[in-house]
Amino acid sequence: MSSLLEFYKICGLLKTTKRTGWVNNGIHLPESISDHMYRMSLFGMSLDSNTKGVNSGLPIDRTKCIKMALVHDLGESIVGDFTPYDKISKEEKFKLEQDAMIKIKDTLNNESGIEIYNLWLEYEEAKTDEALLVKDFDKFEMILQALEYEKAQGKDLQSFFDSTRGKFLHPIFKELAIKVEQERPKNNKA
């Protein structure tokens, strides 16, 4: 039997779980995981319907990108938000999040649960044009947020920019990342 109430409660945990990278950098009132996922989903909505994928050159499925952005960090509602600086291997992080996503899928116990799990897995495997684009959404949303925190709180968040430099695949986000770097406060540029 599907438990929509339990699923909605799990989703609600994303609203109160702050992004660890910001907490670790002393950001005042850091964004939550759901804040991050919400803006990423709007990235998908904002793209032209003829936006092409980086591998196939075919139009991307915008709806799939929006859904993937909405669920890509859903497992963090149960296991928390890990950063690259946490003492956890990529394999262990994947296993913890996969177990959480299986629990979420089983909580719904319907076709929606299967769709959510499959979208998460597609994102993690990063083989499709949509998954690669949403990976770019994830990195870009982070550096855009870093820029906003630098401007508003006078922080130097260089490590966030360093972690993404040269890693964007889609031309749209390559260009946007350059624009974000150019907007950084002068004393924070590498």
Per DSSP, helices labelled H in 17-125 are 20-24, 33-46, 62-71, 76-79, 90-108, 111-125
Taking only the tens place, the pLDDT of each residue in 45-78 is 999 999 999 999 999 999 999 999 999 999 999 9
pLDDT at residue 189 in the model: 64
What is the pLDDT, as a whole number, of residue 187? 63
The position carrying tokens 């950098």 is 25
User: Looking at beta carbons, which pairs linking 61-67 to residues 24 or more positions away fall under 8 Å?
Assistant: 61/130, 64/119, 64/130, 65/130, 65/133, 65/134, 65/137, 66/41, 67/115, 67/119
Q: Rounded to whole angstroms, how far apart are CA atoms 2 and 105?
A: 10
Burial (CB count within 10 angstroms: exposed 0-12, middle 13-18, buried 19+), residue 26: exposed
pLDDT of residue 83: 82
Q: Domain containing 116 — which CATH number?
A: 1.10.3210.10
Domains: count for the chain: 1
Helix (H) or strand (E) holding 143: helix 129-153
Range of the domain at 92: 4-188
| 31 has pLDDT over 60 | yes
Confidence of residue 185 (pLDDT cuts 50, 70, 90): confident
Interior angle at CA 105, CA 100 and CA 108, nearest 5 = 130
Q: What is the pLDDT of residue 82?
A: 86
